[in-house]
Amino acid sequence: MRRIINWFRQRFGRQAVQRSEADAEALRVAFRDRYHNFRLLLSANNRSLEMMAEIEQALQGNRPFGMTFVRSNATGVSVNVLRMIRNLEMLAPGKYDGLRDSFNRIRENVEGILRERRHAHPPAGENRLVVPLGEVGRSLSDTVGSKMAHLGEIRRQAAEQEFMVPSGFAVTAHAYDRFMEESGLRTEINRLFQTADTENIEQLYTLSADIQQRIIRAELPPDIAE
């Protein structure tokens, strides 16, 4: 009888140890996955806060900006908030089901406002391919970009102080759009982005280099090249 009892103890004792080890490994895997999602959540949250801070600094009037800046930052915040929602869903399945619907409603409202703003207030000189640097200033941020607008402001202030300032010009967003459409690059680049793994940094570097080379090799439309 004692032999039978010892046999049962040895057999089922080993099974209990095996189950205990399997349970511990499952807990380690679950903890590792949740910790990874938590870090991604913090990263997306920090990036969203940085973009919001950039918008607040721009609103203080210290540097020129246009709707391109607003749209790009709004898109960046939207992307990172969506990442936060995904990570929350992974951390606590079933507890944040309503967040995605609320996010989509807010995003649609913001995109609607930005579309109305874009069509209601077209930037001056948007049909020109280039703008002389002497005409570039804060009001042309949407036409030539915020950096060139800032450079134009610096040039104007330097000229007022009677400093010698070299002439130059800025390529407009209209020229860029013409180039991208007529070369077919916009469709190519959109396709590349749709198939890219945005979580893979090395792949994003490779994608960036590929897009740069496609732009360099593309031919200008005849009237732009002239």
Looking at per-residue pLDDT, the higher value among 156 and 14 belongs to 156
pTM: 0.49
How far is Cα of residue 179 from the mean position of the Cα atoms in its chain? 23
- Using DSSP's 3-state secondary structure scheme, residue 196 falls into coil
How confident is residue 185, by pLDDT bands cut at 50, 70 and 90? Answer: confident
pLDDT for position 22: 65
From residue 161, alpha-carbon distances to 47, 100, 135, 157, 164 in Å are 40, 54, 17, 7, 9
Mean pLDDT in residue range 88-116 = 84
Q: With 60 as the cut, is the pLDDT of residue 14 above it?
A: no
Task: Match 């102080």 to its residue by tokens.
Answer: 161
pLDDT (0 to 100) of residue 19: 57
Confidence of residue 15 (pLDDT cuts 50, 70, 90): low
Q: Is the pLDDT of residue 151 over 80?
A: yes
The better pLDDT of the pair 196, 36 is held by 36
Separation of alpha carbons 143 and 105, rounded Å: 30
Report the range out of 16-25, 66-75, 199-208 with the highest average pLDDT.
Answer: 199-208
Looking at per-residue pLDDT, the higher value among 200 and 53 belongs to 53
pLDDT in tens, 70-87: 777 888 888 888 888 888
Residue of 89, 78, 18 lying closest to 48 (CA atoms):
78
Contact 224, 175 (CB under 8 A): yes
Average pLDDT (91-103) is 85
Give the pLDDT confidence score for residue 168 in this predicted structure: 85
